[in-house]
Structure 1
Amino acid sequence: MTRAFGGPLKIAIVSDYYFDYVGGAQTSMRQQKLALEEAGHTVIVVSPARGIWGARYQRSPDGLLVKPLFRLPVLDLAVIPNNARSVAALEKYLRIEQVDVVHVQTEFGLAHVVDGAAANMGIPLVHTVHSLYWASEGPPQASVAWFIRWALQLVIGEKIPNIAFTSRKTDNLLRNLVLAMARRAKQVVSPSRHQADDLAAAGVSGTISVIPNPIATAEIGSNPLTLQQARRPSFLWVARCEPVKRPLYFARAVIAALARTDNGFTVDFVGEGSDLTALKKLAAGHPEIRVQGSLPHDEVLALLDASAAIALTSLGFDNQPMTIAEAVSRERGVLYCDPKLTEGLLNSGYLSKTPDDAGLADALVALV
């Protein structure tokens, strides 16, 4: 330990996800970094390196990039196995940097490598759980779950628990992967109370703190909602365009609500994923629905400012998405359908009576 706790610390944020990817977890990590730096701490980031060329360990303006063994292209996930050589290399780096606290934000190989390095150094491990609620669509994958378990245990170098969270084998495995890391941490951070309660019930013995996702600084100043925007509102849906985020449910609700309000509002969908093609087909013939695909973060903020509210349509998957924090920070409301979500929504949220197409359509009509 290089500094006494209570004063400024040097903190290593660790992510198995590429830090340049525009996603909720990465946005949260960037905002955490800014918030910690504003509080007087020093923060470095350890994350995977893009590309196949270059040294295994590469210094970056943020900290350290680690070249993965390979990348899973569909998931855009770096595979960095946990082994003694990697642990020694990261321990050396953390010692040189005089790191006081390791703060992991993921649960795959790199997180376990740095966990091992922190344990060797005797410094605390903090784990932010961005989502315990891994979920997938399609037929059950029990036939391949054993192989995925074997491969993941090989990568992380640790046995994964087998607590029954759900009957879907692969979803259950990934939730237990999260649990394996949370059980190792001295301090666990959950952005939501309901996820914190579920982690405690699953046997996490470290201190669990509920800390909503932060917005430390606004990259672009926000604009107040105008009367004109309120008269013919626009809604923004922004997330990965995947079944767990339920974009097709919302699109069908939008179409139904447009018919009931004489096309009295517009919607922008932002994000890419496996549901994007189906979403575009649903939106065809409805000029009020604009499917934007992926956009840079500053353009997303501009769309948020042009909107009256943001729509959050996941159910049983998210804990406290960054979209809530960003909407509230820019004085915009949130239409949502998951009654478990509470953080940040007491005064800014509108909960649909039911989470299905009809319930979301009714909510849109009521808001318009």
Structure 2
Amino acid sequence: MAQSARPLNVLIASDTYPPDVNGAGYFTHRLAEGLAERGHHVHVLCPSDEGDPYVTVNGAVTEHRLRSAPIPFQQHMRAALPLGMGGHITRLLGRLDPDVVHTQSHFTLSRSALRRARAVGIPVLLTNHFMPDNLYAHARVPRPMQRVAGAAAWRDMVRVAAEADHVTTPTPRAAELLREKGYAREVEAISCGIDLERFHPRPRDRARARLRFGLPDRDTVVFVGRLDEEKRIGDTVRALARIVPERDAQLVLAGTGQCEEELRALAAGLGVGDRVFFLGFVPDEDLPLVYAAADAFAIAGVAELQSIATLEAMSTGLPVVAADAMALPHLVEEGRNGFLFPPGDDALLAERLVTVLGPERSRFGAASREMALGHDHRRSLERFERVYESLRGRGTLRASSHRSLVA
């Protein structure tokens, strides 16, 4: 599809953005850069990574960083402070006069941007990346309170989403979940998308990649993502311990998180401490090499609304073994590009990994690549452009509202 006839002026509001390391922040960054590359005027409103507010131009994207403070229990992440936020956003909307505001959550910054934009007649698109399981980990919600907290969080999400002009989610399953939680209007599923040219099969780079990360030449299972509770990486460590008597295998974990020390202790206790490699934070430019070093990708989490990392692994040509939970079944066709397993069943996870590491691994991997082709990020950008175009000019109170609120 051709790009918009006239460049769009888009303000993207997100409560998380790089250097934060998570799927929502990563998607938002790539969306902003992709839109700018296609000739649109793109501004991002997000928390300051330094504390004090500032504005910077990063490539063709202008970042408006709001005053922030560290999130309790998550010192590597920051949240925008509510004091003065609404007025700041109103003034920014008056200066930028965006065609559309695209919010990435229902949290403080995104919610304020949504409501301030609607107040001045600017149409708003909301994309939901939220799952309560992620909230439990970050907010340290005690297990007995999680059900009540989750229900309250979903009610809040649905209330805020109902204020937007249009709502999207990364997958049909995520859209279905939002409807199950009480959202009554249309939800459009648009894949986060991946760069198929960056993440492609590169078997010739395997030896170099393993040397780069100090990995022995063994069957290698990889996971890329946060090492937090909802990712259930302990299941994969336990599966590795079951595999080792049968195969010379190892597990590579690329990411940081609250559970790293616990996972190290688990691996040592199971006798595979020397076969689990913690790469820590891996810069985005090095991620293709992480996948190139691997023979299979395993993901045991139960709170994935899409899983960009799984898509990247598939695009690189890796077989996938994934928990049969949330949106992951949309990425795995049993026996074609990999297998599913019941969450928590590390014995079946091990069995499935042995299968995909076997003689048919190339067939599984080729199928993964073929399936990933449907998630080209350029296609996702085109779909978001269509949504923006459909919303552009929809606000009927826009001119008078601007005059009254920014005067």
How far apart are the structure 1 equivalents of 2:56 and 2:204? 46
TM-superposition CA deviations, 1:221-266 (whole Å, max 9, x none): 644336988x9531111221111100111101111111232x2x22
- Counterpart for residue 232 of structure 2: 246
Once the two structures are TM-superposed, the CA of residue 113 in structure 1 deviates from its matched residue by 1.7
Say if 1:314 and 1:338, in contact at 8 Å, map to a contact too.
no
Residues 198 and 222 (structure 1), Cα distance of their counterparts in 2 relative to 1, 3 Å cut: closer
Q: TM-score, normalised by structure 1?
A: 0.80
Once the two structures are TM-superposed, the CA of residue 328 in structure 1 deviates from its matched residue by 2.8
1:360 paired with 2:349, answer yes
- Counterpart for residue 95 of structure 2: 96
- Counterpart for residue 221 of structure 2: 235
Once the two structures are TM-superposed, the CA of residue 321 in structure 1 deviates from its matched residue by 1.0
TM-superposition CA deviations, 1:130-156 (whole Å, max 9, x none): 1334354784354xxxxxxxxxxxxxx
- Give the SS at the match of 1:207: coil
- Counterpart for residue 306 of structure 1: 293
How far apart are the structure 1 equivalents of 2:63 and 2:206? 47
Say if 1:248 and 1:275, in contact at 8 Å, map to a contact too.
no
TM-superposition CA deviations, 1:99-118 (whole Å, max 9, x none): 11111112221112211221
Point out the more displaced range, 13-22 or 352-361. Answer: 352-361
TM-superposition CA deviations, 1:43-62 (whole Å, max 9, x none): 22111112344xx4534433
Q: TM-score, normalised by structure 2?
A: 0.73
Task: Choose the corresponding residue for 1:225, options 203, 207, 215.
Answer: 203
How far apart are the structure 2 equivalents of 1:189 and 1:31? 17
How far apart are the structure 1 equivalents of 2:101 and 2:13? 7
- Counterpart for residue 143 of structure 2: 140
Residues 366 and 70 (structure 1), Cα distance of their counterparts in 2 relative to 1, 3 Å cut: same
- Counterpart for residue 157 of structure 2: 178
Say if 1:234 and 1:307, in contact at 8 Å, map to a contact too.
yes
Could you say which structure has the higher helix fraction?
A: 2
Q: 1:57-72 residue pairs with structure 2 within 5 A?
A: 58-61=55-58, 62-68=61-67, 70-72=69-71
How far apart are the structure 1 equivalents of 2:222 and 2:56? 37
Once the two structures are TM-superposed, the CA of residue 339 in structure 1 deviates from its matched residue by 4.6
- Counterpart for residue 323 of structure 2: 337
How far apart are the structure 2 equivalents of 1:183 and 1:43? 25
Identity over aligned pairs, percent? 24
- Counterpart for residue 203 of structure 1: 182
* Residue identity in the other structure for 1:58: V
How far apart are the structure 1 equivalents of 2:87 and 2:206? 60
Residues 273 and 322 (structure 1), Cα distance of their counterparts in 2 relative to 1, 3 Å cut: same
Residues 171 and 221 (structure 1), Cα distance of their counterparts in 2 relative to 1, 3 Å cut: closer
How far apart are the structure 1 equivalents of 2:255 and 2:289? 15
* Residue identity in the other structure for 2:246: R
Q: For structure 1, list consecutive stretches of 5 or more residues without a partner in the other structure.
A: 143-166
Point out the more displaced range, 43-52 or 66-75. Answer: 66-75
Q: 1:1-368 residue pairs with structure 2 within 5 A?
A: 7-53=6-52, 56=53, 58-61=55-58, 62-68=61-67, 70-75=69-74, 76-81=77-82, 85-134=84-133, 136=136, 139-140=142-143, 142=145, 168-216=147-195, 218=197, 220=198, 222-225=200-203, 232-261=218-247, 263=248, 265-284=249-268, 285-286=271-272, 287-315=274-302, 317-340=303-326, 341-346=328-333, 348-352=337-341, 355-368=344-357
How far apart are the structure 2 equivalents of 1:6 and 1:324? 34
- Equivalent residues, number: 331
- What is the alpha-carbon root mean square deviation over aligned residues? 2.8
TM-superposition CA deviations, 1:11-35 (whole Å, max 9, x none): 1111112432122111111222233
Say if 2:9 and 2:42, in contact at 8 Å, map to a contact too.
yes
